[in-house]
Amino acid sequence: MSNDTAYKPQPAKHLAVLIDADNAPALIVEGLFEEVAKYGVASVKRIYGDWTGPQLGKWKQVLLDHSIQPIQQFAYTKGKNATDSALIIDAMDLLYTRRFDGFCLVSSDSDFTRLAARLREEGLTVYGFGEEKTPKPFVSACDKFIYTEILRDQPSEPAASDKVTPEQASGNDPARKPDDRKKPQKAPVDFIAKVIDDISDDDGWVALGMVGSNINKLRTDFDPRLYGFRKLSDLIKAHPQRFELQERGATATGKVLEVRNRKKR
């Protein structure tokens, strides 16, 4: 019998990607599916909206290139969003097929909060994608939430449902500054240090992967890219006065990085 213990990759997770076209700009499409690919295979890609009007024109231009299936939903009553109901019904139908490991819900609308919670109750992983204006309840209802601002390099595009005021059109609206979102936020160093202290060993060391996992459990929207770093390890390395990083041991996938809080020492 062979004693071969070579690393065997795990089967890719099958994901259903459901997009609320009324609350997601088309310019995120490239970054969106690159991000989804990190978590699994997009077995289903559907987008919901009223395709009879001109407001979704930019989405129409990219549907074929990314093999996204448009689902027509007429606005039966003015002021009521029928798109949400269609997406939720489809999500439940897909859930009961038992063919999926997770869902990607693309919207900044809090109406999907209960849907995200319901999918998680069934043991599925829920990835949320929305703008920074997304209400906190929806963000917290997901296992992982990714702000779509970090998925694009261009200035923010208002969602189809947004009303553009004359001030916004002229670029003089003080409440809307697209360039502000390009500036990295201040890294939550104290929060990261507390997570490290809570799960570290007697010497203060803990595997960096475990730190990242615990951070995501506490803050589903945590992402190093919000603070100008590609990975958590890059963020840690950028604060040598606060954190100490070392390589220890090795696994089939590479060396293990460990970190500790210098201030606790």
C-beta of residue 137 within 8 angstroms of C-beta of residue 114: no
In this predicted structure, what is the pLDDT of residue 239? 95
How far apart, in whole angstroms, are the C-alpha atoms of residue 215 and residue 219?
6
Higher pLDDT, 122 or 250: 122
Segment 100-109 mean pLDDT: 96
d(CA 239, CA 110): 35
Q: What is the pLDDT of residue 24?
A: 94
pLDDT at 156 over 80: no
DSSP 144-194: EEEEGGGG-SSPP---TTPPPPHHHHHT--TT--GGGGGSPPPP-HHHHHH
Q: CA dist 62 to 3, 9, 29, 59, 209, Å?
A: 49, 32, 8, 6, 36
Residue 62 resides in a domain: yes
**Residue 195 sits in a domain of what CATH number?**
3.30.420.610
Q: What pLDDT sits at residue 184?
A: 80
Residue 149 shares a structural domain with residue 32: yes
Cβ(137)–Cβ(115) under 8 Å? no
Name the token pair of 47.
């987008």
Question: Helix 113-121 and helix 82-95: axis angle, to 10°?
Answer: 0
Does residue 171 lie in a domain region?
A: no
CATH number for 94: 3.40.50.1010
Share of the chain above pLDDT 70, in %: 79
Claim to verify: residue 120 and residue 209 sit in the same structural domain:
no
State the pLDDT confidence band at 236, using cuts at 50, 70 and 90: very high
**H-run or E-run covering 258:** strand 254-261
Question: What is the domain range of residue 67?
Answer: 14-154
